[in-house]
């Protein structure tokens, strides 16, 4: 009986302890609600990825290489053209000189409308002067040694590849007369003179904030721009011939100078390479410097 009572007591104690043990050992894991990600975390999280930065840096290097290659090819084409076309070389040199010696602060090469405007002044039939809207924008100007007035400018809405403003060269002759040779019908050369040409002072006027050109329009003649003038009788005055005649004289003079300079350089080089000729020249110089004493005090 005593043993039975002890067994029933142990069972009763176990029944009381078991719920507490289960409550301590069994842990119910509750699921955490998903974190709400913001806009930048969702769509711009890839900025932290190194792959993105590799692609970004590679794209920048590739674009820089393309831009550098474009400007190099552009420079190479201009260089080759200047070597083969002497008028193109003259045009490039005069544009450069006009920008160096410009009288206005026209330094904008992209937003050219910020530069000094160039307007045309037309004379109507009733004698009234009509000033136009800006037809071009100033980039530089100067007067050449042959007397021409040079103006480098950007014509309005004249762009290359829809983006890059094109720089043109306006040439205004400043001679009263010109003469040139021309073959007649019989094949003989005749000298033709053109007198009473308009002067630059009557064509162009430099004001404080603008440039006025007294002409009907601007015309493209080859690689240059010339003003189109109208005489009192209504006839058009063609200035393309005086312009190209003056430029032709400049080119011929430069060519002769270059040939003379090359001849002197070749002559000096040939003298340096020929020791006998160099010795004879030095000996001749020495003989010229020898002083011959006079006989005024001799034979005593």
Residue-wise pLDDT tens digits, 197-251: 888 989 999 999 999 999 999 999 989 999 999 887 778 888 888 888 888 888 8
Least confident window among 42-46, 178-182, 188-192, 291-295: 291-295
pLDDT at 178: 80
pLDDT at 114: 94
pLDDT band of 75, cuts 50, 70, 90: confident
Give the tens place of pLDDT for each residue, 88-110: 989 999 999 999 999 999 999 88
pLDDT top residue among 125 and 32: 125
CA distance 90 to 58: 42
pLDDT top residue among 282 and 150: 150
Q: For all residues of the chain together, what is the average pLDDT?
A: 79
The answer to whether 183 touches 191, Cβ cutoff 8 Å, is no
Query: Average pLDDT for residues 106-128, to the nearest whole number?
Result: 91
Query: Average pLDDT for residues 263-270, to the nearest whole number?
Result: 64
pLDDT at 26: 46
Give the tens place of pLDDT for each residue, 138-152: 999 999 998 899 999
Give the tens place of pLDDT for each residue, 3-52: 556 666 667 666 666 565 555 544 445 555 555 555 455 556 667 778 87
pLDDT at 290: 46
Residue (of 200, 167, 147) closest to 78 by Cα position: 167
pLDDT exceeds 60 at position 155: yes
10 φψ region: left (φ > 0), alpha (ψ -120 to 50), beta (else): alpha
CA distance 175 to 237: 14
pLDDT at 186: 78
pLDDT band of 191, cuts 50, 70, 90: confident
Look up the pTM and report it: 0.68
What percentage of residues in the chain have a pLDDT greater than 90? 35
pLDDT exceeds 90 at position 126: no
């Amino acid at each position: 009986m005593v043993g039975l009572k002890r067994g029933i007591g142990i069972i009763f104690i176990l029944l009381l302890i078991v719920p507490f043990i289960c409550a301590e050992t069994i842990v119910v894991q509750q699921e955490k609600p998903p974190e709400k990600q913001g806009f930048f975390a969702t769509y711009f999280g890839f900025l932290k990825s190194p792959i993105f930065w590799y692609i970004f840096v590679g794209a920048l290097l590739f674009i820089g290489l393309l831009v550098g290659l474009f400007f190099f090819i552009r420079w190479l084409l201009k260089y080759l053209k200047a070597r083969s076309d002497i008028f193109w070389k003259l045009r490039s040199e005069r544009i450069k000189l006009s920008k160096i010696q410009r009288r206005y602060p026209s330094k904008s090469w992209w937003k050219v409308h910020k530069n000094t405007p160039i307007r045309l002044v037309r004379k109507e039939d009733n004698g009234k002067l009509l000033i136009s809207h800006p037809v071009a924008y100033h980039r530089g100007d100067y007067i050449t040694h042959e007397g021409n007035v040079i103006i480098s400018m950007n014509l309005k809405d004249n762009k290359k590849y829809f983006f890059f403003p094109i720089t043109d060269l306006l040439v205004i002759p400043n001679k009263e007369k010109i003469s040139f040779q021309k073959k007649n019908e019989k094949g003989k050369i005749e000298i033709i003179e053109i007198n009473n040409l308009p002067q630059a002072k009557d064509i162009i006027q430099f004001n404080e904030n603008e440039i006025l050109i007294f002409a009907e329009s601007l015309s493209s003649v080859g690689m240059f721009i010339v003003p189109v003038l109208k005489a009192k009788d209504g006839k058009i005055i063609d200035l393309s011939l005086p312009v190209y005649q003056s430029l032709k004289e400049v080119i011929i003079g430069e060519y002769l100078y270059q040939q003379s300079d090359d001849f002197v350089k070749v002559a000096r080089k040939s003298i340096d390479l020929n020791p006998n000729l160099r010795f004879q020249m030095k000996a001749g110089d020495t003989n010229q410097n020898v002083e011959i004493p006079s006989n005024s005090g001799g034979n005593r």
